[in-house]
Structure 1
Amino acid sequence: MSKIQAKDVNGVRVLILNRPEKRNAIDLEMYTQLTEYLIQGNSDNDIRAFMIQGQADCFTAGNDLTDFLKHTDIDPQHPAFRFLFTLLDITKPIVAAVAGAAVGIGTTLLLHCDLVYADKSAKFQLPFVHLALVPEAASSLLLAQTVGPKKAAELLLLGDSFDAETANKLNLINDILPSDSLFDFALDQATKLASLPPQALQASRRLMRGNIDGIRLQMHAELEEFSTRLKSDEAKTRFHAFLNKKSHKPT
């Protein structure tokens, strides 16, 4: 079964992270699939909105670190960063539904979504510095714009996890929903967006997003630093310690 499931419902392309045995850790193949689904949907007039979700117990545990250690040559065509730049360039609205862990990319991609809903099980974390890396997805810029510079520093530099109530207070999500209605509610919201006049919707979204060129420049700056950090001895030490710790966890 595909690690990314896609279905089109009432003008909404629903993308489901489907690697539960790895807590939806995103590998390079998954990034490639996500990018292709987004690009194709963005050019399809029958698709007017996107929705991204995981399973009821996990959104995503973040990047597949083993995969990253095998592919440390980072440029804009690297599958992970191509996905991030595609998120930036999507012209149609994106809704996300978050249950369980939303680690690293699981939190930063939300900054590019128009509407985000979570249940009480959602746990967000930005552990880049913990792994001797730097933020991505322009989160070093967008997070400060969303929550303020001091709170952004706390979330990005300390990298502690935080719950759905905190995310809601910080305006990182729109609302907290009961677990049994989260996905249906998010899809309803995406369907509402898909039913609106598409040109006016996309134009309004474009105006609200502001300086896309500035965001793109920040993403390129992050990419260059991320590439340098990923190859550093500091990162290799942290990565191997993290993977070794995971391999010794009781099952």
Structure 2
Amino acid sequence: MADTIIAELQDSVLQLTIHNPERKNAFTQAMYASLAEQLEQAAINPAVRVVLLSGHGGIFTSGNDLDDFKKAPAELSSSSSPTVRFMMALANFPKPVVAAVEGVAVGIGTTLLLHCDLVYAHPDTRFCMPFVNLGLSPEYGSSLLLPRLAGNVKAAELLMLGEMFSAQDAQQAAIINTVVEQPLALAKVQCAKLTQKAPAALRHTKALLKAPLQQSLEQVMAQELQLFSQGLQGEEFTEAVTAFFEKRAADFSRFS
């Protein structure tokens, strides 16, 4: 059980734990496929009222496993891609999703939080959306959702500089709800509360909250995926990944 998703259903809460300890819980294509399957089934399973996302061992996720991710870049823009299946399953999930974040939340580890309903993070958590550092553009609707939450100036800072930022900054940018010493414990308390609410009313409330941006989000995500997929096949990404594995700074000076 190296890279996997641990699924536990208890008291109507499906906890999905990201588990890849050798890579700081980085996502592989197999893990995306597992998450997609779990979410797709949970959406139609009346025994599941709430989904809780967490990371194993005090780490949420370090983003994509680059060694795994670079093997199949051409598949990313396809609806059958495990990554895209997961993205759509979470973005369209009709029931409440709560996330408990610790350690690091890098790349999609941060952007997936934009599609959760309640998010709690440890004070020492570090967030990052380093897409430009990898020669890539934003993904998962972040170019639409983040400016709406944080404002254009803050969104530009986070997406264009691609630097680490704190849990306090994430809260100020409205990416998370609360900074708390025991995020998983609080997340479980909130999940328990949600399971006691009228389920149809919760689904309708979530749908209404998402409705104004839904069409725009679908269009933006499609455009982002196209550009992201192109970027994965480009020289800038090749240089970034080569530099990563050579443990040096990427040199983009020859690109225009």
Instruction: Please indicate, yes or no, whether the TM-score normalized by the shorter chain is above 0.5.
Output: yes
1:176 matched to which residue of 2?
A: 179
What aligned pairs does 1:45-60 form with structure 2 within 5 A after superposition? 45-60=46-61
8 Å contact from structure 1 (residues 131, 239) kept in 2: yes
Deviations 1:173-221 (A, max 9, x none): 111111xx32121011012112211111110111111221211111100
Over the residues paired in the alignment, what is the CA RMSD in angstroms? 1.2
Q: Give me the whole-angstrom Cα distance separating, in 2, the residues matched to 1:211 and 1:155.
A: 21
8 Å contact from structure 1 (residues 57, 121) kept in 2: no
Q: Give me the whole-angstrom Cα distance separating, in 1, the residues matched to 2:38 and 2:208.
A: 25
Q: Give me the whole-angstrom Cα distance separating, in 2, the residues matched to 1:40 and 1:191.
A: 20
2:221 matched to which residue of 1?
A: 219
1:187 matched to which residue of 2?
A: 188
8 Å contact from structure 1 (residues 62, 103) kept in 2: yes
Moved segments of 4+, more than 2 Å: none
1:78 and 2:77 correspond = no
1:10 CA displacement: 1.2
- TM-score by length of structure 2 reads 0.92
Q: Give me the whole-angstrom Cα distance separating, in 1, the residues matched to 2:22 and 2:73.
A: 24
SS where residue 26 of structure 2 aligns?
coil
1:89 CA displacement: 1.2
What number of residue pairs does the alignment pair up? 244
Q: Give me the whole-angstrom Cα distance separating, in 2, the residues matched to 1:218 and 1:203.
A: 24
What aligned pairs does 1:142-181 form with structure 2 within 5 A after superposition? 142-178=145-181, 181=182
1:234 matched to which residue of 2?
A: 236
8 Å contact from structure 2 (residues 150, 172) kept in 1: no
1:25 matched to which residue of 2?
A: 26
1:135 to 138, 157, 165: 138
Q: Which amino acid aligns with 2:221?
A: M
Matched residues, percent identical?
Answer: 41
8 Å contact from structure 1 (residues 91, 202) kept in 2: yes
Q: Which amino acid aligns with 1:39?
A: E
Deviations 1:139-168 (A, max 9, x none): 010011110011101100101110111111
Q: Which amino acid aligns with 1:27?
A: T
SS where residue 165 of structure 1 aligns?
helix
Q: Give me the whole-angstrom Cα distance separating, in 1, the residues matched to 2:14 and 2:169.
A: 29
1:245 matched to which residue of 2?
A: 247
1:9 matched to which residue of 2?
A: 10
8 Å contact from structure 2 (residues 21, 57) kept in 1: no
SS where residue 98 of structure 2 aligns?
strand
8 Å contact from structure 1 (residues 118, 164) kept in 2: yes
8 Å contact from structure 1 (residues 118, 175) kept in 2: yes
Q: Which amino acid aligns with 2:21?
A: P
Q: Give me the whole-angstrom Cα distance separating, in 2, the residues matched to 1:208 and 1:25.
A: 30
Deviations 1:214-237 (A, max 9, x none): 111111000100111110011111
Q: Which amino acid aligns with 2:94?
A: T
2:116 matched to which residue of 1?
A: 113
SS where residue 70 of structure 1 aligns?
coil
1:56 CA displacement: 4.3
- TM-score by length of structure 1 reads 0.94
Q: Mark the runs of 5 or more structure 2 residues left unpaired by the alignment.
A: 249-256
Q: Give me the whole-angstrom Cα distance separating, in 1, the residues matched to 2:153 and 2:179.
A: 24
Structure scoring higher RCO (CA < 8 A, sep ≥ 6) equals 1
Q: Give me the whole-angstrom Cα distance separating, in 1, the residues matched to 2:196 and 2:40.
A: 20
What aligned pairs does 1:36-51 form with structure 2 within 5 A after superposition? 36-51=37-52
1:249 matched to which residue of 2?
A: none
